[in-house]
Amino acid sequence: MATRKVKTRSKDAISSLPDETLAQILSFLPTKRAASTSILSKRWRNLFSLMILLFAPQHHLDLDQSDFLHPKQGKRQRRRRREEIHKSFRTFVDKTLSLQNTIKKFSLKCRDDPVDIAQTNRWISCALELDLRIKTDCEHNEPQRPLPCTIFTSNTLVKLTLGTELCVGDRSPLVFLPMLKYLFLDTVYVSEDDFFMYMLEGCPALRELVFNYKYINHEDAPQDLPYIIFETPSLVYLDYSERSRCYIKSANFFKSLVEAPLDLVGGLIREGPNRRGNQLRNLSRVFRWISHVRILDFSSNTVESKTKRGWKLLTSLLKNSPKLETLVLKGLHCINSRGVCVRENAVKVLEISSYRGSVKELRQLERFLCQTDSLQVMKVEVDIGIEDDDKKLQLTKELLAVLSKCHSNCQIQLV
């Protein structure tokens, strides 16, 4: 019986889909892969452009100049074609951004050239609709590149991230960001200290602020301590890490603030007889402003917990925090021989880590148990260096003896 060969013809089911469907499929791919489909055939040549036109809001537009380098080319070949690639990439970015209406996510990585600053600023302005993140990777000896002023005047920008080592410019720009709710500043270089004050004044709807370490022009900086005024009545989250010459003068987030991780070391405050006094006055102000905070995290640098003097701030903190119910102390190593007064507080849960059972530590625990009527639970974590079970049993007996002495109903948990 003779067999007949049946000729089969493969069918490209994907290419037969409508253009809009294919463009939507491309929107879920990384930009590099979506753009590479343009060379498959004439059918796919314009689909990437259609994707940008129709589905830009749901696509993370990731434009990376290194993608234009052929992986098999050697260093000599890449050096020879560097200018050609640079020009080709900038043309591609220009064409791509000219097609979009609104961008939801936009990442840009390219070689920055002083000649092309205006073009780069125009690209940045295209991402001002919702979320803009600008970061640079540069050496310390390289000149700082100023940001375009259009960043600071947008009626639609909701989230702004600036860092790392960005330069704002010689003069503080006009700031008007009425819709901005999330602001992240990370190592931003400014020539004028009042930039941050103007920045906050121009963001009336700000709800979350992350402020991490700033550079200033130290040679031109005034001898008197500059300051920041928080005109942020809607602020609910403040992550403030300040190692510059400035300090907080006033704040109007008294009732709105809910969570605040703070690191107020003031490391660049000039040395002198008033240095410590300036820090203490700054912290005293902060304690008054955070009295309604529910979650508070002070770094060891903030209260100088490695010094005996720093523990005196604990009394002021508790006195000015009537709603503080949970207090976490990482070690009691530098408590003085008399201990620190902890009256007038509403703490219900006290957590202490790295406990070694010294006389000073035990005396401070006694103060907490005898002076804090609201205390319900005290969790004591033994230092990791103590492994002997007999030593742990001794620590437990000492804590129970203090509990009995203070006639406290607090539960003690030794872990």
Tell me, what's the pLDDT at 178?
92
Structural domain count of the chain: 3
Among 270, 303, 336, give the residue marking a domain's end. Answer: 303
**Do residues 333 and 296 both lie within one domain?**
no
**Do residues 225 and 336 both lie within one domain?**
no
Tell me, what's the pLDDT at 205?
92
**Do residues 295 and 344 both lie within one domain?**
no
Could you tell me the residue range of the domain that residue 217 belongs to?
Answer: 128-303
Residues of the chain with pLDDT under 70: 1-12, 67-81, 100-105, 110-116, 126-146, 163-172, 187-194, 213-227, 242-249, 254, 264-288, 291, 299-312, 333-339
Is 288 part of any domain?
A: yes
**Do residues 156 and 120 both lie within one domain?**
no
CB 187 within 8 A of CB 163: yes
Is 51 part of any domain?
A: yes
> Is residue 362 classed as helix, strand or coil in its secondary structure?
helix
359 is written with which tokens?
């006389």
Is 362 part of any domain?
A: yes
**Do residues 257 and 388 both lie within one domain?**
no
**Do residues 134 and 260 both lie within one domain?**
yes
C-beta neighbour count of 128 within 10 angstroms: 22
> Which of 65, 51, 163, 66 lies closest to 100 in space, CA to CA?
51
Instruction: Tell me which H or E stretch contains 190.
Output: strand 188-190
**Do residues 140 and 210 both lie within one domain?**
yes
**Do residues 400 and 285 both lie within one domain?**
no
**Do residues 267 and 151 both lie within one domain?**
yes
Is 102 part of any domain?
A: no
C-beta neighbour count of 16 within 10 angstroms: 9
**Do residues 137 and 229 both lie within one domain?**
yes
**Do residues 378 and 345 both lie within one domain?**
yes
Q: Phi/psi of residue 313, each to 5°?
A: -70, -20
Is 241 part of any domain?
A: yes
Tell me, what's the pLDDT at 160?
84
**Do residues 133 and 277 both lie within one domain?**
yes
For 91-97, the CB contacts below 8 A with 24+ separation are 92/35, 92/63, 92/68, 93/63, 93/123, 94/119, 94/123, 95/49, 96/49, 96/52, 96/61, 96/63, 97/123, 97/126
Is 83 part of any domain?
A: no
Is 331 part of any domain?
A: yes
Is 84 part of any domain?
A: no
Indicate the pTM of the whole model.
Answer: 0.62
